[in-house]
Amino acid sequence: MARLLVAFLVGAGFSLGLGISEMTQPQTIIQFLDLGAASWSYKLLVVMFAAVTTYGLLLKLMLRRAKPVLAPRYMIPTGRELTKPLILGSAVFGVGWGLSGLCPGPALSTLNTGAARPLLFIATMTLGMWLQGRYTQAQEARQARAARQDNANPNAQAA
Amino acid sequence: MHDLTLSLLGGVIIGGAAAGLMLFKGRIAGISGIYSGLLTPKPSDTAWRVAFVLGLILGGLALRVIHPAALQDTLLRPLWVVALGGLLVGIGVRFGSGCTSGHGICGLGRLSRRSIVATLSFTLSGMAAATLYAWIGG
């Protein structure tokens, strides 16, 4: 129960922060990303700076604890490899972000308005996530099949 | 309150909330990752994701009282652009393992090499897309 409460409060806090800083307004995002905008704004950078600094400092303090308060261990990604999916996937995400002025957090924060755009965005975003999942699954199945065939016929590669 | 003060305050709240998830659950507050985990539900790993997403949605509801301006959409992109944008975001964040929260805030906050590169990638392509869209006459 405590874990659910924490997750809920973190989600709510995130929404409030996004809202107070007006990152929930697609216009604010586009005013930063559109370099030709007459009313170009660096607001996004200020918000990012404040959020990153706060998170970084708190992280340094709290990692002195051996483990999280309500979980057995920290789950922090340790990978350092710069892969093609990381770079190209992020670039595709950026194009969607720059076209719509929305990313997952702000879209969820503004769902309550009942307006068409956040709703539509969440719907097609979910579809995109699902399609990516299907693609990855199919890819893994193909690789597993190929590996089995190689094992069954070790001379195939030499030929 | 001054615009800049609100931006800083909002940023501090976002950073604080993300830190809360690490302190209590030991997790990165990556919104796309937490949300997309709901598409492949596992028994012991679903309830907290639902609670987090509900928090985001209901926190947004509270904005009606606290800061109504936050909920105004003055950009009003054509619906097909929003739909296409959502699709690209959904595909991209899963291949790229994160979005503005997971890579942009948590990743940069811990100086992760992968997150720094991902953030550069989506910021540059976002700038290219938004600038070209305006240029072509959106």
Q: What is the DSSP letter of B37?
A: G
* Interface mutation target, options A103, A111, A136, chain B, most CBs of B under 10 Å: A103
pLDDT in tens, A69-89: 999 999 999 999 999 999 999
CA distance A114 to chain B (A): 11
| Full DSSP string of B83-137 | HHHHHHHHHHHHHTT--IIIIIIIIHHTT-HHHHHHHHHHHHHHHHHHHHHHHHT
Contact A86 B84 (CB under 8 A): no
Which residues on chain A are in Cβ contact (under 8 Å) with B109?
Answer: 51-56, 59
Higher-confidence residue of B137 and B87: namely B87
Binding-face residues of B in 59-78 toward A, CB within 8 A: 59-64, 66-67, 69-77
pLDDT of residue A159: 42
Q: Band of the pLDDT at A156, cuts 50, 70, 90?
A: low
Which residue intervals of chain A are DSSP H helices? 2-20, 26-33, 43-62, 84-100, 104-109, 116-152
Please determine, for residue B8, whether its predicted confidence score (pLDDT) is greater than 90. Answer: yes
Q: What is the pLDDT of residues A119-144, one digit of tens each?
A: 999 999 999 999 999 999 999 999 99
Quickly state the pLDDT bin for B30 (edges 50, 70, 90).
Answer: very high
Mean pLDDT of B43-65: 97
Cα A127 to Cα A123: distance, rounded to the nearest angstrom = 6
* Six token digits for residue B123: 């910021």
Domain coordinates in residue numbering, chain A: 2-80
DSSP code of B48? Answer: H
Chain A residues in contact with B9 (beta carbon < 8 A): 20-21, 50
Question: Which of A122, A108, A80, A147 lies closest to B86, judged by CA?
Answer: A122
Burial class (CB in 10 A: 0-12, 13-18, 19+), A26: buried
Sequence-separated (6 or more) residues with CB below 8 Å from residue A131: B90, B91
Q: Which residues of A touch B86 (CB under 8 A)?
A: 96, 100, 102, 107, 120-125, 127-128
How many A/B residue pairs have CB atoms within 8 Å? 490
* A82-to-A14, A85, A112, B88, B116 alpha-carbon distances in Å: 28, 9, 37, 21, 10
ipTM over 0.90: yes
Q: What is the pLDDT of residues B86-128, one digit of tens each?
A: 999 999 999 999 999 999 999 999 999 999 999 999 999 999 9
State what percent of residues in chain A have pLDDT above 70.
96
Among A residues 11-30, those touching chain B with beta carbons less than 8 Å apart: 11-27, 30
Contacts of residue B35 in chain A, CB cutoff 8 Å?
104, 108, 129
Q: What is the pLDDT of residue B28?
A: 96
* Cβ neighbours of A139 in B, within 8 Å: none
Residues near B126 by beta carbon (within 8 Å), at least 6 away in sequence: A33, A94, A95, A97, A98
Please tell me the pTM assigned to this model: 0.95
User: In terms of residue numbers, what domain contains B95?
Assistant: 3-136
Sign of CA dihedral B35, B41, B46, B50: positive
pLDDT band at B47 (very low <50, low <70, confident <90, very high): very high
- State the total domains in chain B: 1
pLDDT of A157 > 60? The answer is no
* CA angle, A131 then B26 then B123, to 5°: 50
CA dist A93 to A35, B22, B90, B125, Å? 18, 25, 7, 8
Position A149 confidence tier, pLDDT thresholds 50, 70, 90: confident
- Per the CB < 8 A criterion, the answer to whether B116 and A119 are in contact is no
Asked if A33 reaches chain B (Cβ–Cβ under 8 Å), the answer is: yes
3-state secondary structure of A77: coil
Select from B6, B22, B101 the residue whose CB has the most chain A CBs within 10 Å, as the one to mutate to test that interface: B22
